[in-house]
Amino acid sequence: MIGINFDKSTAERFLECIERGQPIECPNAAGWTCDAMLALAGALHFSVLSHGPQLYRNWDWIQVPQEHKEALDEQLFGDLAGAIEYYSHLTMLVNDEEYDAQFEDQHRAGLSVADGQTTVHPFDGTK
């Protein structure tokens, strides 16, 4: 079980910074705590989730039938979790100095999750 220590005013500051395109400052003078990092991750997750159709860049959203839009809304949760996990993995590779062996500085891919299985389709930037 992961403990949650949520502070409404911190969430409000994070959302305001995201909305206004301002830098997000650490809410704790002692540095980034796990609670603060999770709160920021939650604020960013919500912000991306609220732009769902924009994540499916290759779709003409206006032309998608309503029943497909509903299915994509459900798919969005899994795809977004998979994308966050993939970004996390890539960041870990950077931290561990293993990124450069597999990827160029700029890497683009498509990602989907179906039946719990994540599939990454590299577009470019893969060695």
Distance (Å) of CA 41 to CA 21, 24, 80, 100: 16, 12, 12, 25
Report the distance separating Cα 56 and Cα 79, nearest Å. 10
Tens digits of residue pLDDT in 41-72? 999 999 988 876 666 655 565 666 777 667 77
> In this structure, what token pair is assigned to residue 118?
């994540």
pTM given for the model: 0.80
Tens digits of residue pLDDT in 22-43? 999 999 899 999 999 999 999 9
Report the distance separating Cα 59 and Cα 45, nearest Å. 21
Between β-strands 103-114 and 117-126, what pairing exists: parallel, antiparallel or unpaired? antiparallel
